[in-house]
């Protein structure tokens, strides 16, 4: 069972000023078009760049993408590589944007 966080909970944590480890696994152009911060490593390059992740393997890392599909893949890759607390943003950034457009 993979861990997930919903958009409302993530937004609450961001607004409270909590320091979060965000890993955006979209392509670079997508990241530069719109992002909520965090480190950007496209999911296709994640295996080669696994050692450049700026977190400890025991830290909570929230993986994000557009719709929550690529971040699920990234979650599996990170877990296979010994990262213990990987959380997927359910519905991706689209769900966060929908929340903000209400």
Query: CATH code at 16?
Result: 3.40.250.10
**Could you tell me the pTM of the whole model?**
0.95
**Whether the Cβ atoms of residue 98 and residue 76 lie closer than 8 Å to each other:** no
Return the closest-CA partner of residue 78 out of 37, 47, 42. Answer: 47
21-55 confidence digits (pLDDT tens): 999 999 999 999 999 999 999 999 999 999 999 99
pLDDT of residue 48: 97
Residue 1 has pLDDT above 60, yes or no: no
Place of tokens 């893949």: 73
Q: Buried b / exposed e across 21-53, counting CB within 10 Å, b at 16+?
A: bbbbbbbeebbeeeebebbbbbbeebeeeeeeb
Place of tokens 């929340």: 99
Residue ranges making up the domain that contains 11: 3-100
42-94 confidence digits (pLDDT tens): 999 999 999 999 999 999 999 999 999 999 999 999 999 999 999 999 999 99
CA distance 57 to 78: 9
Domain count across the chain? 1
Q: Which two tokens stand for residue 58?
A: 């025991």
pLDDT of residue 100: 81
């Amino acid at each position: 069972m993979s861990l997930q966080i919903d958009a409302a909970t993530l937004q609450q944590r961001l607004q409270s000023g909590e320091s979060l480890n965000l890993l955006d696994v979209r392509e670079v152009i997508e990241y530069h078009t719109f992002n909520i911060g965090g480190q950007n490593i496209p999911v296709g390059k994640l295996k080669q760049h696994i050692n450049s992740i700026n977190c400890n393997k025991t830290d909570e890392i929230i993986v994000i993408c557009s719709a929550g599909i690529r971040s699920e893949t990234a979650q599996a890759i990170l877990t296979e590589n010994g990262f213990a607390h990987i959380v997927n943003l359910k519905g991706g950034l689209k769900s966060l944007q929908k929340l903000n457009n209400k």
